[in-house]
Structure 1
Amino acid sequence: MAKLILLKNRELTLVNRSRKLLYDLSYISDGKEKPLIIFLHGFKGFKDWGNFDLMMNYFTQKNYAFIKMNFSHNGTTLDSPLEFNDLSGFGRNNFIIELEDIQAMIDHVFKGEIISENEWDQRKLILIGHSRGGAIAIIKGAEDVRVRAVVSLAGVADLKKFLNDRDIDLWKKGETVFIDNSRTGQKMPLYPQFLESYFENKSRLDVISAASKLKHLLIIHGSEDSTVPIDHAFKLKKQ
């Protein structure tokens, strides 16, 4: 008999950095193979933000398996997944760490450590990313042949969006840049390593180039988006 499985705030250990992240898993257990979605949140985001639970519920009812995960350095903690209580961790975050996080999740999924192998179709792994998570999903989708499709929800087409001239000058001086969080009122730090990591991996972080390698890319973007302008969607479409 089919049964709804909903697992919240499960821990995944990332051995290479001795760090953990939280994820949610939802699917209807019926012993049948079904597509699997892994959802990635954006900058200053987390897996439980906004309508992400509604999205998970929708796809579960459409008989997808659905995982939504926190990035390991998103600023939340295992004990407080809804609050940014680890600002030091946030400051140490960068694009490569986020790519490593999703790589770890994919690896564990294919090892059968997250969901039973008879409950999902290993030929149908889909990444959905929101905002900056959209860029990470596109890059990882181009890197890993196990990913069969990518969906960009208001995705960022150029990660230089997170590198303005003033911040670059501060990072080059070895200073910390502080990002305002309008929702919480916090000033969230980003340490100089953020810039260093970007330039060390600039070619890998070319979102447009990565998008051109994808066979299946769905771009969804609101025309009135004030955070990530619609131009990003057109840049991805024209690649």
Structure 2
Amino acid sequence: MKKIEFVLTSKHNNRRFVADARWIANHTKKPTVILVHGFKGFKDWGAFNVIADQFANNGYCCVKLNFSSDGTTVDYPFEVTDHEAFGNNNFSKELDDLGVLIDWLHSEECPIGTIDLSKLYLLGHSRGGGVVLLKTAEDERIKKVATLASIPQVNTFSEETVEHWKKEGVIHVVNGRTNEELPLYYQAVEDYYAHEERLSMMKVLPTVTQPILHIHGDQDETVPIKAMDFLHQLNPASICKTIEGASHTFNTKHPWTEDTLSENMQTAIDYVLDHFSE
């Protein structure tokens, strides 16, 4: 299996971010899957590398990325350590970083000569599910999209939380892996309302014409399964799959030291492979 890692530059503050790709080195043209991580995650979180290997072994080129402001850095891409960057992250930045990656795949700089960019697919987990849905709506180069335990919308905070957030300028969330408090600056709310036509799932998702697959566990402790029902209502052509007994991470965790996936995650990836191959 061929693997490369590369560094790209965000359109926002010229911050650099790391991505990687893997594929089986032969002369066969390969569909491309971009795997997008969720909130407080990163490209090598949990079982993501096992998932990427499965895509490669099934004839795909699989690409993963860290976002420029997700709290990782080029020098330390395996954990959220840059708290200021994390606090200043927003959906616009993540959509634009994903666009930078897609542009790079289509450029002469990309050294992967056997990828078939007429078959470019996105797969996102949790917050990453929201990102890939929004990106699919604005980029016709994306031909199919799938989500794992996707958030239902971007603006999920209560009025009370937003009022407090605006007054204080910041709220904090706990990183469950490190028990650190991570800041979220109010700029994320301002960005949403400044770009609501781009970021509102209710406005955007009904416009998506590419095939959509949603997968959710009925034991999701973070994003309730009713989120999938909401997304399906916004785009009734989408396909929905429920996995019984599956948690938010489909019973995987970080770190993931196994060479195989959990039973529930394997079921989810099998659904995705079927969706992309149809």
- Tell me the residue number matched to 2:252: none
**Residue 139 of structure 2 is aligned to residue 153 of structure 1:** no
**Residue 204 of structure 2 is aligned to residue 210 of structure 1:** yes
1:164 and 1:112 map into 2 onto residues whose CA distance is 46
Flag the 1:62–1:94 CA change in 2: closer, same or farther, 3 A. Answer: same
Aligned residue among 114, 117, 126 for 1:119: 114
Q: TM-score, normalised by structure 2?
A: 0.80
Aligned residue among 7, 11, 14 for 2:4: 7
Measured against aligned partners, the alpha-carbon deviations of 1:58-107 in whole angstroms (never above 9, x if no partner) come to: 00000100000011111111111122210000011001000110011111
| Alignment map for 1:157-196 (pairs within 5 Å) | 157-161=152-156, 163-196=157-190
Aligned residue among 139, 142, 159 for 2:137: 142
The number of residue pairs the alignment matches comes to 233
* One-letter code aligned to 1:74: D
* One-letter code aligned to 2:196: K
* One-letter code aligned to 1:187: E
Structure 1 residue 15: Cα displacement: 5.1
- Tell me the residue number matched to 2:94: 98
SS at match of 1:29: coil
- Tell me the residue number matched to 1:32: 28
1:230 and 1:115 map into 2 onto residues whose CA distance is 40
2:52 and 2:108 map into 1 onto residues whose CA distance is 20
Flag the 1:137–1:15 CA change in 2: closer, same or farther, 3 A. Answer: closer
2:70 and 2:20 map into 1 onto residues whose CA distance is 16
Measured against aligned partners, the alpha-carbon deviations of 1:134-187 in whole angstroms (never above 9, x if no partner) come to: 0110010010000000011111121122x2334311232252111111221010
1:237 and 1:227 map into 2 onto residues whose CA distance is 19
Higher alpha-carbon deviation: 32-41 or 10-19: 10-19
Please list every run of 5 or more consecutive structure 1 residues that lacks an aligned counterpart in the other structure. none
Structure 1 residue 7: Cα displacement: 1.9
Aligned residue among 223, 237, 242 for 1:228: 223
Aligned residue among 53, 56, 62 for 1:66: 62
- Tell me the residue number matched to 2:41: 45
Higher alpha-carbon deviation: 225-234 or 197-206: 197-206
2:115 and 2:17 map into 1 onto residues whose CA distance is 22
Paired residues of 1:135 and 1:156 also in contact (CA < 8 A) = yes
Paired residues of 2:11 and 2:97 also in contact (CA < 8 A) = no
Q: Share of identical aligned residues, percent? A: 36
Paired residues of 1:149 and 1:216 also in contact (CA < 8 A) = yes
1:190 and 1:16 map into 2 onto residues whose CA distance is 17
Please list every run of 5 or more consecutive structure 2 residues that lacks an aligned counterpart in the other structure. 235-278
Paired residues of 2:145 and 2:210 also in contact (CA < 8 A) = no
Q: TM-score, normalised by structure 1?
A: 0.92
